[in-house]
Chains A and B, each alone.
Chain A
Amino acid sequence: MTRSSAATVAPGRRHRTRWIRPAPGVGRLGRGGALGLGLATLWLSLLVLIPLAAVVLKSFSHGAGNFWSAVTAPDALAALRLTVETSLLVSLVDVVMGTLVAWVLVRDEFVGKRILEVVIDLPFALPTIVAGLVLLALYGPQSPLHVNLAQSRAAVFLALLFVTLPFVVRTVEPVLIELDHDMEEAAASLGASRFVVFRRIVLPNLAPAIAAGTALSFARAISEYGATVLLSGNIPLKTQVASVQIAGQIESDNTAGAAAVATVLLVTALLVMIALTLLQRWARRRG
């Protein structure tokens, strides 16, 4: 969280002139640095940028009009809305619960802590279709808990909650472990209540990690396929999520339509990442 001083007032000169100096390292790459930057750019281009560009190009291959009609087709629109809305909601829950779980794991001692540590990673480790099976067994028509969520939107919500659980927990946990405990004690002896210490000292220091975890959660949620498809029943206009809709389009040979929906997902993901970054900056400025 170091901030480099971009603007430094030259000592001894108290005129209005502000000497803007680049932060150390910026603009002056050594040969090794330049090579690294080149390699990273190439790698990202090959793996990410070029395929993404291809998807975007494909989606407009039959013109903007076709793009628009593909995206606004009732089943596409319903799938997109369901996916984005549920993902936002899930991310919100993840922020609160993920932070809470990380807090408990780091700050509290209790029996079964080790086991919980492993359990949290399970959604990571399971192939998502297996997660889907587990959810179907637990909350399907034959639910041992007598909770039948099959073919409902709640099923999508639950499935996304399940697969995104670890992200915020795992990004926040190491930061919380490294957090300088003296800061909290200093704040307490300055008169800050436990809530104020959390709100003004702990939370701002966790914010970047929470934001990163949330971005991962959201990205995972809008792209989830396997975990949702079994329990939700995949009913168009009702419980079908965007990724499944895309797969369906491809199966019926409408690649351009699939690419159009994919492009919307891509843009949404980008917007959310940007929003999170801006939110973080704003929060920092406000302290």
Chain B
Amino acid sequence: MGIDVHHITKRFGDFVALDDVSLSIPTGQLTALLGPSGGGKSTLLRIIAGLEEPDSGTVTIEGVDATALPPQRRNVGFVFQHYAAFKHLSVYRNVAFGLEIRKRPKDEIRTRVMELLELVHLEQFADRYPAQLSGGQRQRMALARALAVEPSVMLLDEPFGALDAQVRRELRDWLRRLHDEVHVTTVFVTHDQEEALEVSDEIVVINQGAVEQTGTPSALYDQPANEFVMRFLGPVTHLGGHLVRPHDIDISLTPEPATHAATVSRIQRVGFEVRVEARTADTTDADEVSIQLTRGLADRLDLAVGQQLWLRASHDASALDLTDTPALAVS
């Protein structure tokens, strides 16, 4: 159930946008498609919605094979990055559109539309035209419009991509709350790892037309399948031939077994956090290591530039051994 994507391949001319992608998206959850620009996220979402046709493979939505169905009959709600508001219709008529063309009774439409406008906090804007709304309001209208026809899945293509950081953050939290209320299977595309980690139940990392990894936000963050995923989900640094997160490094002021000696080259305080750059003295691969620590810890250690440290990855850290996994191409 949910959405099942089987061996989807999509080419644009010679360019392979999706290369044999298979994916299972669970019912009722909020799933993020995360990946760098040009990775194929939009293409995959549009194939699920029927707006793009795959060269091969199948799409199943809530148990129904939708591969041959036109977008009209897939019962998906699609939200576009640039709102796709019907400019010539009022907010009310925008939201009512799907119900009007289904020839629902007027009273029923009115009740449902007002209910939805309330849900997206636009009830006082019913008579306005899209041009009179802010970007965030337009996108909420687009969400209400898609929800009006009670779709079995909601697909959102970078819904907050065109908004400024502040509004983006607000809407992101709001989307999470909305999803907890409405519980419709939702897939949203983003290239912002923070957005994906904060909002979603599941993350699918897509890169160069292929799925790199699927899992919960913490699974992906803590057990990245490869270097690409690890790098994409957060800051990384090198330590003794391993890739580790800067906050996963233990510092000792005296030599300990299995540590790497290093010299502090830079200390920077950023609010609550302190970033330390240190140079390891390993004979084989001398590295510039970044370490992230809390201000309290930094104060206790009383670090100074030029000081000698011994570093090692914390025992529960996610670390990738760069010597035995062949480094993946990172674009």
A residues at B contact (CB < 8 Å):
1-3, 5, 180, 182-183, 185-193, 196, 200-201, 204-205, 284, 287
Q: How far apart are the CA atoms of A189 and B89 in the complex, in Å?
A: 17
B83, B101, B128, B131 pick with most chain A CB within 10 angstroms: B101
- Say whether B87 contacts A190, CB under 8 Å: no
- Say whether B132 contacts A191, CB under 8 Å: no
CB distance from B165 to the nearest CB of A (A): 24
Say yes or no: is B77 at the interface (Cβ < 8 Å to chain A): yes
- Which residues does chain B contribute within 8 Å of A185, judged by CB atoms? 51, 71, 78, 80, 84
Q: How far apart are the CA atoms of A284 and B87 in the complex, in Å?
A: 11
- Say whether A189 contacts B49, CB under 8 Å: yes
Known: A190-B145, A205-B88. A5 touches B128 (CB 8 A): yes
B74, B89, B145: the one within 8 Å of A287 (CB): B89
- Say whether B131 contacts A186, CB under 8 Å: no
- Which residues does chain B contribute within 8 Å of A192, judged by CB atoms? 72, 97, 101
CB-CB nearest in chain A for B142: A186
B51, B93, B102, B132: the one within 8 Å of A189 (CB): B51
Q: How far apart are the CA atoms of A189 and B97 in the complex, in Å?
A: 11
- Which residues does chain A contribute within 8 Å of B50, judged by CB atoms? 189
Q: Mark B100-139, 1 if CB is under 8 A from A, else 0.
A: 0110000000000000000000000000110110000000
Pull 28 A–B residue pairs with CB atoms less than 8 Å apart, ordered by A: A1-B88, A3-B129, A3-B131, A5-B128, A5-B132, A180-B87, A182-B83, A183-B85, A183-B87, A185-B71, A185-B78, A186-B78, A186-B80, A186-B86, A186-B145, A187-B97, A188-B71, A189-B49, A189-B72, A189-B76, A190-B101, A191-B101, A191-B149, A192-B72, A192-B97, A200-B97, A201-B86, A284-B88
Other than A2-B131, A191-B98, A284-B88, give 5 A-B pairs with Cβ distance below 8 A. Answer: A2-B132, A182-B83, A185-B84, A189-B76, A205-B87
What is the size category of the interface that chain B forms with chain A? Answer: 20 to 34
CB-CB nearest in chain B for A188: B71
CB-CB nearest in chain B for A283: B88
Q: Mark B260-299, 1 if CB is under 8 A from A, else 0.
A: 0000000000000000000000000000000000000000
Chain A interface, >50% SS class: helix
CB-CB nearest in chain A for B50: A189
Say yes or no: is B146 at the interface (Cβ < 8 Å to chain A): yes
- Say whether B82 contacts A189, CB under 8 Å: no
A189, A201, A204 pick with most chain B CB within 10 angstroms: A189
- Which residues does chain A contribute within 8 Å of B98, judged by CB atoms? 190-191
- Say whether B87 contacts A189, CB under 8 Å: no
Known: A189-B49, A189-B51, A191-B102. A182 touches B82 (CB 8 A): yes
